[in-house]
Structure 1
Amino acid sequence: MAEVNNNPTKKARKGSAIFSKKNLRIDLTPMVDLGFILVTFFVFTTSLSEAKAMDIVNPDNSNIKIKDPICESCVLTVLLDRNNKIWYYEGMEKDAVYKETGFEPTGIRKLIAEKKQSVFNQFNNDRFVLVIKPMAQSGFKNLVDIIDESNINVVKRYYIDEPSAAEIERFK
């Protein structure tokens, strides 16, 4: 590891101090080994945390025939606005009563769970539909967050749609 070479000291003159020069040689092999271990550790840990993308399936809209019409009371429409605001209404747009909520657990997560449960109690099956309409001023993070909330609540049917002209005018 380290080596000290001792040379015999010369006799000093009268009245002078004795100084001896010692040669010091340090073996840096363990430090090189440690460097390689650190490099391999960081390369390994960065390869474990690769980015993951979320899949969104877009159907072919050319020949769609609706076999199972959606009931009005089964639909919850969510409009994503700026500053993490969420506007929502139940049913169809013509009868819309807009209410506001947020991304906190007592907000949209609780709302989706309650609506899903009420649809299940009413029809005895899972006919709940979540319609997601991101506004132009909302961020992509909000879209990802609402899809995460639908996955947490095990929403089987959700649609991503563009807001209508009336909705855009209302929330300008």
Structure 2
Amino acid sequence: MTFHPTELHGVILVESGEHRDDRGGFSRLFCVQAFADAGIDFTLSQMNLSTNHRKHTLRGMHYQAAPHEEAKIVRVVSGAVHDVVMDLRRDSPTCGKWQGFHLDAASGKALYIPKGCAHGFLTLEDDTTVLYQMDAPFVPGAARGLRYDDPAFAAVWPAAPEIISPKDLDWPAYSG
């Protein structure tokens, strides 16, 4: 596994690498020791699978409030997404910044997102499936979010969302 820092403090692009032969391929998706060696303390608590039937489906921007914050590893297992992270951590040198990433099943890349960041994605293909690994359980009362088009971040998306939940449209504006 190879770990690449991004423009956002603590957000890491993870390349698993695939070993191929005449049978097919093999990829290690997660290794606690490899993450620890890269300075990432991540203990798996929960895994979720998001299935998305249509291109340009938007999910986000989601996070959990303290003391139930969660770090996550996001990986596309079929299709492709434009993945966005917004840094909400007041003590972070990149607080108030955002970054977008292209994740797809073919590349095998994943994104490690630390606690205190909002996360969302826009599907770029029909039948896109996203695997989430979290280091904390979901706590409904701690669920929070921001609008994908929050002017405080002004994130750039490659297309307008065609499918988005009413809940994701009703998130409040970022108050810093």
Pairwise same-fold verdict (TM > 0.5):
no
* TM-score normalised by L of structure 2: 0.23
Would you tell me which structure has more helix in proportion to its own residues?
Answer: 1
Q: Which has the higher strand share?
A: 2
Higher relative contact order (CA 8 A, sep 6+): 2
